[in-house]
Each structure stands twice: as structure tokens, then as C-alpha cells.
Amino acid sequence: MLSRRRFFFRAAISTLAAQIGLHFRAAAQRLPTLHPNDSRAARAITINVNGVERTLTVEPRVTLLDALRDRLGLTGTKKGCDQGTCGACTVMVNGRRIDSCLTLAVMHAGDRVVTVEGIAQNGVLHPVQRAFITHDGFQCGFCTPGQIVSAVALLNEGKRLDRETIRTEMSGNLCRCGCYPHIVDAVLEAAGTS
Ligand code: FES
Ligand code: FES
């Protein structure tokens, strides 16, 4: 049998849910329908993501990070600061590593984007990924996708790498768990084997 307290609790939750629903419906009705020529209107773009052509419809205000995570379901790329300071959102665009929170999806129509989901090939881990495991290059793992994408791009850049260079080149990828020595070990090993 429903206790009096539980009954009132459930009634309160239902009322709250109904009010939230009404609020969002009213807000949606207030949104203006934009003319397709309006620069703020959503548009269809095609981006090559991890080797697959993906077409999505996005408003010009949507960042590449949000398009990848929320529209394409590629949640490996993390949203940390959302303002270009932590590197958790690092992806490769046409081979260059960038902070995907600092760029708009519509600017990348026709580009080649590689996220952490596209680093392993046919189920085989990239040497950087193997080295991160060998050297315990992570603790909570939140920064790890960005670290891995950044490290893979760094190796592709073909620079001569020593500990100091790796630290400098990866300085845009912060790790709040302080795994830096292990990350540098991992990148150094991957540089020697890839
Ligand atoms: S989430 Fe993009 S740099 Fe932090
Ligand atoms: S492993 Fe936790 S933030 Fe880097």
C-alpha cells in the first residue's frame, strides 16, 4: 500500500515533470522558424569521420566537438573545459590535431576527421594505445582519448622526439591525474616502435 508520504512525493514529481514539459513545449513554440537562407539556419554537411562519409544537419553555432558527440554519437572525444585549454577534445582534422571545442562543425564540410574511435584499425590497437597500457599512461582516463589522438598526430608529424620535445609538443593536453611521466614514457616507446 502507498504510504501518505510516498503518495505526495509521487504527486509532486508528476506535477514537476508536467510543468517542465509545458515549459519546453512553450519554449519550442517561441523559437522562430528560420528561412533556409538565414545564416543561422541548420544546413546539411558531409564530413569524413574515421574513414566514413557522414552527413549531418547542424546549425552554424554547433562546435565540431558537439557534432561528434551529440549528433554522431562519438563520445570518445571528451568535453573538459569547452574553451580550448585542456585538450580533452583533441581530434585530427586533415592530419592536424586541433581542439574540436574551438571550431564549428560547418567549417569542416569535406574535411577528414579522425577521433579516438578511429585510431585502432581492424581491432588492432595503435602502438600509442599499446604503449599507454604498458606504461600506465592514465588513471581516471578522462584526458586519455585526447592524449592518444595528440600523440598519434605528433608521431605522424615526423619530428625527432625526446622527453623534452614530447613534453612541449603535448603541453596542450592536460592531465589532472598527473600521469605526465607515464604518458611521456608511452609516447617515447611508441616513437621507437611505430
Ligand atoms: S574541451 Fe576543448 S580544450 Fe578543453
Ligand atoms: S588520467 Fe585522469 S585526467 Fe588524465
Q: What is the CATH number of the domain that holds 81?
A: 3.10.20.30
Range of the structural domain that residue 65 is part of: 43-118
Residues with CB under 6 A from ligand 2: 138-144, 175-177, 179
Instruction: Supply the pLDDT for residue 128.
Output: 98
Pocket of ligand 1 contains residue 88 by CB under 6 Å: yes
**Residue 22: inside a domain, yes or no?**
no
DSSP three-state, residue 194: coil
Looking at the predicted structure, is the pLDDT value of residue 158 above 80? yes
* Domain match, 101 and 156 both: no
Residue 190's region, left for phi above 0, alpha for psi from -120 to 50, else beta, is alpha
Residue 150 grid cell: 595528440
> What's the distance, CA 122 to chain centroid?
21
Pocket of ligand 1 contains residue 64 by CB under 6 Å: no
Instruction: Supply the pLDDT for residue 21.
Output: 53
Pocket of ligand 1 contains residue 117 by CB under 6 Å: no
* Domain match, 102 and 160 both: no
User: Which ligand is nearest the CA of 174, by number?
Assistant: 2
* Domain match, 111 and 134 both: no
Pocket of ligand 1 contains residue 99 by CB under 6 Å: yes
* Domain match, 138 and 91 both: no
Distance from Cα 113 to the centre of ligand 2, integer Å? 24
Last residue of a domain, one of 53, 88, 118: 118
Number of domains in the chain: 2
* Domain match, 136 and 107 both: no
Please state the rounded mean pLDDT for residues 52-64.
Answer: 97
Last residue of a domain, one of 118, 138, 168: 118
Please state the rounded mean pLDDT for residues 139-155.
Answer: 98
